[in-house]
Chains A and B, each alone.
Chain A
Amino acid sequence: KAGVTQTPRYLIKTRGQQVTLSCSPISGHRSVSWYQQTPGQGLQFLFEYFSETQRNKGNFPGRFSGRQFSNSRSEMNVSTLELGDSALYLCASSLGDGGRTYEQYFGPGTRLTVT
Chain B
Amino acid sequence: AQSVAQPEDQVNVAEGNPLTVKCTYSVSGNPYLFWYVQYPNRGLQFLLKYITGDNLVKGSYGFEAEFNKSQTSFHLKKPSALVSDSALYFCAVRELYSGAGSYQLTFGKGTKLSVIP
Contacts and interface: CB of A to CB of B under 8 A. Distances in A.
Interface stretch (B13-21, B68-76, B106-114): B106-114
Contacts of A31: 103
A106 B34 CA distance: 13
Dominant secondary structure at the A interface: strand
A99 B41 CA distance: 33
B76 to A, nearest CB: 15
Contacts of A56: 97, 100, 102-104
23 contacts: A6-B43, A42-B108, A43-B90, A48-B104, A50-B101, A55-B101, A56-B104, A90-B44, A96-B101, A96-B103, A99-B96, A99-B101, A102-B103, A103-B46, A103-B49, A104-B103, A104-B105, A105-B46, A106-B43, A106-B44, A106-B46, A108-B41, A108-B43
